[in-house]
Amino acid sequence: IYKEADGCLRVLDPVYNNAETVPGASFYLLEAIPLSNPGLILTDAPTPAMDKTLFGGEPPHGWCYAYAKAEIARQNGAWDEVAKLYKEAQENKLSPALPVEYLPFIEAFALTGDMDAAIKLTEKTIKTQPTLCPALNTLWERVSGDLDVLQAESVLQKECKLP
């Protein structure tokens, strides 16, 4: 697991949250990513009851709550749910502190056919953190087997200076 100062807790893995998503991370962290196996995470486990006198009430659901739910939905291949969670977050005026947290939503929009939203989030991510260009390129390569991603490739070539 990994948490940048202002961002949400993330489970790093060799496919979705790989070394390209943590530019500038330490050698030790990068070397540990291939050891991660998010498939071992129980995504349908019930939430345990917490004693409110000890732990207090549940905090308000902010961006990181939406992001964590989206990561679980992504892990289960529930791309419609990932896209829905982003739209709900937007309705509640929530947004990430770190652009890397847009990646599951970009992929969800692409895979659910909302290419305009996927491209807009891709452009926003590049503008705010250009070091994520390799991660975005990998993401679009991953979805390109099923989709026409010419527009995304054009954005990546222009904004990221990719060949």
pLDDT tens-place string over residues 60-107: 899 999 999 999 999 999 999 999 999 999 999 999 999 999 999 999
pLDDT of residue 146: 65
- Collapsing DSSP to helix, strand or coil, 89 comes out as helix
Q: Return the exposure string of 40-57: e unless at least 16 CB atoms fall within 10 Å of the residue's CB, then b.
A: eeeeeeeeeeeeeeeeee
Q: What angle do CA 128, 130, 133 make, to 5 degrees?
A: 125
Confidence of residue 108 (pLDDT cuts 50, 70, 90): very high
pLDDT of residue 49: 84
**Is 155 domain-assigned?**
yes
pLDDT of residue 109: 97
**Is 46 domain-assigned?**
yes
pLDDT of residue 5: 83
Whole-number Å distance between alpha carbons of 127 and 119: 12
Instruction: Assess contact for 23 and 114: CB atoms under 8 A.
Output: no
Give, rounded to a whole angstrom, the gap between the first and last alpha carbons of the chain: 33
Whether the pLDDT of residue 11 is over 70: the answer is: yes
Structure tokens at 99: 């652009």
* Residues 18-36, mean pLDDT to the nearest whole number: 89
Whether the pLDDT of residue 151 is over 90: the answer is: no
Distance of CA 87 to the CA centre of its chain: 14
Domain assignment of residue 121, given as a range? 19-160
**Is 57 domain-assigned?**
yes
pLDDT of residue 162: 65
The whole-model pTM stands at 0.88
pLDDT of residue 110: 94
- Candidates 23, 27, 6, 33; CA nearest to 129 is 23
Whole-number Å distance between alpha carbons of 99 and 2: 15
Distance of CA 140 to the CA centre of its chain: 13
**Is 12 domain-assigned?**
no
**Is 13 domain-assigned?**
no
**How many distinct structural domains can be found in the chain?**
1
**Is 62 domain-assigned?**
yes
Mean pLDDT of the chain: 90
Whether the pLDDT of residue 152 is over 70: the answer is: yes
- For the chain, give the percent of residues with pLDDT over 90: 52
